[in-house]
Amino acid sequence: MRIFRAEWRKLRRPTLFFGSMGAVVAVTALVVSLLFLLIDSEMGNADRGQRITRDILALPSGISIGFSSSAGLLGIVALCVFAAQTAQEYTYGTLRSLLVREPRRIRLLIGKYLSMGLFAFFTVMFSAITSVLLAFALSGIAKVSTNAWTTSEAWTNLFETFVNVLVSTFGYGTIGMVLGLLLRSPISSISIGVGWLFIVESILSIAWSPSGNWLPGSLLSVVASGGAPIGVTDVPSYSEAFIRVSAMITAAALVTGFMFKRRDVAS
Amino acid sequence: MTAISVKGLTKSYGDLVAVKDATFEVPLGTICGFVGPNGSGKTTTIRMLLSLISPTSGSGEILDEPISHPERYLSQVGAMIEGPAFYPALTGAENLRVIATLGGFPLERIPELLETVGLSGRGDDKYKTYSLGMKQRLGIAAALLPNPKLLILDEPTNGLDPAGIQEIRDLLSKLAKEGVTVFVSSHLLSEIEMISEYLVMLRKGEVIFFGKTEELLHRSRPTIVVKATKASDLKRLKKLVDEVGHPALLEGAELRIDADEKWGAELNELAFENEIVLKQITPVRPTLEETFFTMTEE
Three-state SS across chain A?
Answer: CHHHHHHHHHHCCHHHHHHHHHHHHHHHHHHHHHHHHCCCCCCCCCHHHCCCCHHHHCCCCHHHHHHHHCHHHHHHHHHHHHHHHHHHHHHCCHHHHHHHHCCCHHHHHHHHHHHHHHHHHHHHHHHHHHHHHHHHHHHHHHCCCCHHHHCHHHHHHHHHHHHHHHHHHHHHHHHHHHHHHHHCCHHHHHHHHHHHHHHHHHHHHHHCHHHHHCCHHHHHHHHHHCCCCCCCCCCCCHHHHHHHHHHHHHHHHHHHHHHHHHCCCCC
Q: What is the pLDDT of residue A230?
A: 64
- Bridge partners, residue B5, by sequence: B25, B61
Helices (H), B64-147: 92-103, 109-116, 132-144
Residue numbers in B near A94 (CB within 8 A): 85-87
Residue numbers in B near A98 (CB within 8 A): 102
- Write the residue in B50, B54, B98 that is nearest to A10 by C-beta: B98
B81 with A96: Cβ contact below 8 A: yes
Cα–Cα distances (Å) from A177 to A79, A86, A173, A193, in that order, read 7, 6, 6, 10
| pTM as predicted | 0.84
Query: pLDDT tens-digit profile of B238-284?
Result: 888 888 888 888 888 888 888 887 888 888 888 888 888 888 888 88
Sign, CA torsion A45/A51/A54/A58: negative
- Write the residue in B51, B52, B97 that is nearest to A9 by C-beta: B97
Interface of B with A in 119-148 (CB under 8 A): 142
A102 with B47: Cβ contact below 8 A: no
CA distance A6 to A102: 11
Q: What is the pLDDT of residue A81?
A: 92
Low-confidence ranges of chain B (pLDDT < 50): none
Low-confidence ranges of chain A (pLDDT < 50): none
Residue numbers in A near B89 (CB within 8 A): 13, 15-16
Query: pLDDT tens-digit profile of B134-159?
Result: 888 899 999 999 999 999 998 888 77
How far is C-alpha A211 from the chain's CA centre?
Answer: 21
CA distance B192 to B173: 11
Q: What is the pLDDT of residue A208?
A: 79
